[in-house]
Amino acid sequence: MLAFLQALRFRPASSSTTRHRTSVACRFRRSALVFLMMLFMGIGTLNATPLKVGIIVPMSGPFAAYGKQILNGAKLYLKQNGTSAAGREVELIVRDDTGIAPDLSKRLARELIIREKVDILAGFGMTPAAFAVAPLATQAKTPMVIMNAATSAITTKSPYIVRVSQTLPQVTAPVAQWAAENGIETVYTVVADYGPGHDAEKQFTESFTAGGGTIIGGVRTPVSSPDFSSYLQRAKDAAPDAVFLFVPSGEQGVAFLKGFKARALAKQGIQLIATGDLTDEDVLDSMGEPAEGVITSFHYSDVHDSPENKAYVQAYQEAYQERPNFMSVAGYDGMHLIYTALEKTDGDSDGDRFMEAIKGMRWISPRGEVEIDADTRDIIQTIYMREVKRVGDALHNVEFDQIDRFRDPGKE
Ligand code: PHB
């Protein structure tokens, strides 16, 4: 580069014709120099432009833990990998959508796109938020990185959506299959009455009946502040071999387990099986003894045995003095996806280039090996069978089986 610039240097002329020729050449060289300087300044400006990531998550209300875990994971990634991606300073702009408030999520997304001029939208704890924002992502051609919302159809709502978390059919099918193969003949289903609950109910029914099981009843519970007592009584009266449960992770699961114990369903020989949303590490300690023995299938446990996970859990605990759960890992992996895509595009965050860059991307996550399905933009990952066990003085999701490279079965 230095040699090239030296070649453009002005040299004094010796005669009038050569002086004329030289002055033309000189002007040409000067213009070329100015052009080059402008080009470099342009690139400099591009790289100096921060990469704005607008994160929409619940930070208050009953699902506030989602925002906390997702942001903790995302910030840990920045702490470990630096705050710039492909030469651009990464700026996280966080907005609280309080949980299930799709109009608010949409307004926040619009403000982030128009006023803050974010390059990427991310977060999305709950399905209604993701559905509400999807059309804006399409309109603005702004990539949208889903870090939790898990209704299967979300990624079909915009070509600018990529999901690094899980889908309900993906995490439900394995426990249904396990139940059918492990002496459970009849199941009563209890699911939250919205997208992910409907997905879980449908997939459980399909996979369990395909394995020879029978669904003897089921109920859909309100998505906000349900009182589980009457639903638990109905489940008990149906006397199934097992209850299958999906409720959004957090306090609802704690309340359900309390009621399960109080109404003595386990004593009547009814087993509890669920997706791992129930026994998430953020609330597992507060569930206590009623959680012991619960069987779940899921993509992340904080005791997953791999060097990547051990390092992740240690770093997370050092940074935040608490246990990481699946949402934190999605926040962490989501930032990895953004950084890697940006490296691939040389720092260009154009929506179309970004979406091309994420297709087929593979990496080793704390949860195991993952890949973004180039066709669906959903994540392909290992789903583990786990049992809640007391290890030392804490409860853990102890893995005992796994299905590798598992896709959403509805999108095969
Ligand atoms: C969702 O709203 O998509 C959702 C929320 C909590 C979960 C899983 C899915 O644990």
* Domain shared by 26 and 37, yes or no: yes
Q: What is the CATH number of the domain that holds 109?
A: 3.40.50.2300
* Domain shared by 44 and 64, yes or no: no
Hey, which bits of 180-290 come out as E strands?
186-192, 214-221, 242-246, 271-275
* Domain shared by 79 and 134, yes or no: yes
CB-based contact 184:61 (threshold 8 Å): no
* Domain shared by 162 and 285, yes or no: no
* Domain shared by 38 and 125, yes or no: no
Among 13, 31, 48, identify where a domain stops: 48
CB-based contact 236:263 (threshold 8 Å): yes
pLDDT at 18: 44
- 265 or 35, which is more confident: 265
* Domain shared by 108 and 209, yes or no: no
Tell me the CA–centroid distance for residue 63 and ligand 1, in Å: 10
| β pairing state of 144-146 and 186-192 | unpaired
Q: What is the mean pLDDT of the chain?
A: 91
* Domain shared by 136 and 261, yes or no: no
* pTM for this model (two decimals): 0.90
Residue nearest to atom 8 of ligand 1 (CA): 248
* Domain shared by 287 and 213, yes or no: yes
CB-based contact 191:217 (threshold 8 Å): no
Residue nearest to atom 3 of ligand 1 (CA): 149
Q: For the chain, what is the domain count?
A: 3
CB-based contact 332:120 (threshold 8 Å): no
- Give the mean model confidence (pLDDT) for residues 379-390: 98
CB-based contact 90:55 (threshold 8 Å): no
CB-based contact 172:203 (threshold 8 Å): yes
* Domain shared by 227 and 361, yes or no: no
* Domain shared by 65 and 160, yes or no: yes
Tell me the CA–centroid distance for residue 33 and ligand 1, in Å: 56
pLDDT for 100-122, tens place per residue?
999 999 999 999 999 999 999 99
Residues with CB under 6 A from ligand 1: 126-127, 148-151, 196, 248-249, 277
CA 385 remoteness from chain centre: 20
Is the model's pLDDT at 254 over the cut of 50? yes
User: Can you tell me the distance from the alpha carbon of 190 to that of 252, in angstroms, rounded to the nearest whole number?
Assistant: 12
Residue nearest to atom 6 of ligand 1 (CA): 248
Probe residue for ligand 1, chosen from 127, 221, 327, 408 as the CB with the greatest number of ligand atoms within 8 Å: 127
pLDDT at 35: 47
Range of the domain at 352: 51-166+306-377
* Domain shared by 137 and 176, yes or no: no
